[in-house]
Amino acid sequence: MAIFESLGKYRNTGLLILRVGLGVMMMVHGLPKLMGGPDGWTKLGASMKVVHIDFLPMLWGFMAAASEGIGGFLLILGLFFRPVNLLLVITMIIAALVHFAKGDGLDGAGHAIELGIVFFSLIFIGPGKYSIDKK
């Protein structure tokens, strides 16, 4: 269709919309976890047991909360774009594994898997020209 053929020239606008949308949603999920403090971080970090890491749960929980909360903000800005996406991929892998361990199956883990795929893809695509990291 002719109307869609010209949209390719708005690739960077599309990346901006994607970054802002995903960034806001990650902040919505991550900032309450970040504000949960050491007790919340310890509970969140206990999720690492699914990969047989049971030391320093507070650190792992803080890292997951920061990846989502602060990482979401950095995603919006397009700052430290690829490292942030890598941290988000790791966070989504652990989230999916936790859902599988609880017996939730693909219905429970699907959202984390989908986001992990998007974040992994963004590592290759880059932030686009409307970002601080623009190339």
Where are the domains positioned within the chain? 10-125
Q: Identify the H or E element spanning 15.
A: helix 11-34
The encoded tokens of residue 114 equal 């989908």
Cα-to-chain-centroid distance, residue 21: 12
Q: What is the pTM of this model?
A: 0.92
Q: Closest Cα to residue 12, out of 133, 132, 127?
A: 127
pLDDT of amino acid 135: 62
pLDDT tens for each residue of 16-71: 999 999 999 999 999 999 999 999 999 999 999 999 999 999 999 999 999 999 99
> Which residues are within 8 A (CB) of 128 and not within 5 positions of it... i.e. 6 or more apart?
11, 12, 14, 15, 16, 19, 78, 134
pLDDT range class, residue 134, cuts 50, 70, 90:
confident
pLDDT tens for each residue of 116-130: 999 999 999 999 999
Q: Closest Cα to residue 27, out of 102, 82, 84?
A: 84
